[in-house]
Amino acid sequence: MRYETIRNLQIPKIGFGCWSIGGMSTPEPAWDQRSMTALHSALDLGYTHFDTAESYANGHSEELLGRVIREKGVRRADLFITSKVSPEHLHYDDVLKSCDNSLCRLGMDYLDLYLIHWPSHSIKLEESFKALNQLVQSGKVRFLGVSNFNLKLLKQAIVLSETPLLTNQVSFSVPDQEYVKNGVLEYCQQNEILLTAYSPVKRRNIKSNATLRKIANDRKVTPEQIALAWLVMQPRVITIPMSANPQHQAENLSAADIILNADEMEQLSASVFN
């Protein structure tokens, strides 16, 4: 596994995204066993960064993640746990309450990273960051970040955060390079901020990309692994794929060890999907 070293942290290039653990936007109790089996497998394989949110299955994702971590007996200090506050909860008191609720569901004393999940059009960032800064001061959160922020909002967040902003989590993949085009990736790389790529593997698109398939075939790995390798080869980029399949989980994790050459990177950056 390769890591990004930033702010005296070593963060795995590839973590585990918990979207669909326990349900989608609402809890799905019938999914619990499958979800917990997926989390057990991920921990057994060596995943240490887990990314969840209060909106994932309306908090049930956090509950299941916390339960499995306790069942496995993994030391809290060996994990890096990210959660997110929803845009409707960005008033000062609501941010504090949301964080407390997330910690309660996880059964933890602190979060390693706490993100604004989406910017709000009606609540000022100044109010939100007043609460977020308080959470860091109180020790309930180690690092702050944002998600789905454009360049203008990202710059505002940097000014308002009393501690260095750790990441902007955005949709980023071979077929989705919007945050390259809008300058966010370059800005993050120049200012010691991680770009965390969610939805890194769009399987319906992978089959139509001849470049991905050829490179994968030449290297005797899967196109999904090449798609992940392309992401994490880039400085200051980490990613959080999700799979409930243990084999795919292992393949995702090992993608961080695939070293693409400059020509392959350029081909993938320029590849066109039909």
Q: Is residue 112 part of a domain?
A: yes
Question: Domain range holding 118?
Answer: 3-202+234-258
Q: Give tens-digit pLDDT for 143-176.
A: 999 999 999 999 999 999 999 999 999 999 999 9
In CATH, what number is assigned to the domain containing residue 102? 3.20.20.100
Task: Kindly report the average pLDDT of the chain as a whole number.
Answer: 96
In a domain, 222, yes or no: no
> Considering the domain boundaries, does residue 139 fall inside one?
yes
222 contact partners, CB below 8 Å, separation of at least 6 = 216, 251
Output phi, psi for 105, to 5 deg.
Answer: -65, -35
- Run of H or E including 83: strand 80-85
- Active-site residues, by number, are 56
Share of residues in the chain with pLDDT > 70 (%):
98
Q: pLDDT class for 1, splitting at 50, 70, 90? A: confident
Question: Binning pLDDT at 50, 70 and 90, where does residue 273 land?
Answer: low
The CA distance from 65 to 61, in Å, is: 6
Q: Is the pLDDT of residue 42 over 70?
A: yes
Q: Would residue 84 count as lying in a domain?
A: yes
* pLDDT score at 207: 75
* Domain count along the chain: 1
% of the chain residues with pLDDT over 90: 95
Does 267 map to a domain? no
Q: What is the pLDDT of residues 195-229, one digit of tens each?
A: 999 999 977 677 788 999 999 999 999 999 999 99
DSSP string, 68-116: HHHHHT--GGG-EEEEEE-GGG-SHHHHHHHHHHHHHHHT-S-EEEEEE
Tokens of 237: 């980029």
On whether residue 215 sits in a domain, the answer given is no
